[in-house]
Amino acid sequence: MSEKDYPHGLSDAAIDIIAERAAEKAIQKVYEQIGKSVAQKIFWFVGVAVVGVMMVMAGNGILKQ
């Protein structure tokens, strides 16, 4: 297609650049969501581990109630 085939006046090169930037932003958002999900799981696991250690310590008399 030539530039005159587009009613909005964008060339193929401009459309390709816009498409690449849109794809990069989409991928970046996916990685951010994956990172947030992994961080939430890590924090949850750490919280459970801390509570478990405290329960063990309390059961052995190391922590006073």
**Where exactly are the structural domains of the chain?**
3-59
Between 60 and 6, the more confident residue is 60
- Binning pLDDT at 50, 70 and 90, where does residue 64 land? confident
The total of other beta-carbon atoms located within 10 Å of residue 6's CB is: 13
Contact in structure between 65 and 57 (CB atoms under 8 Å): no
Tokens of 52: 């478990």
Pairwise CA distance, residues 3 & 35, whole Å:
41
Greater confidence, 26 or 59? Answer: 26
What number is the average pLDDT over the span 46-56?
A: 95
What pLDDT does 11 receive?
A: 87
Say if residue 24's pLDDT is above 70.
yes
Q: Who's near 10: CB < 8 A, 6+ residues apart?
A: 3, 18
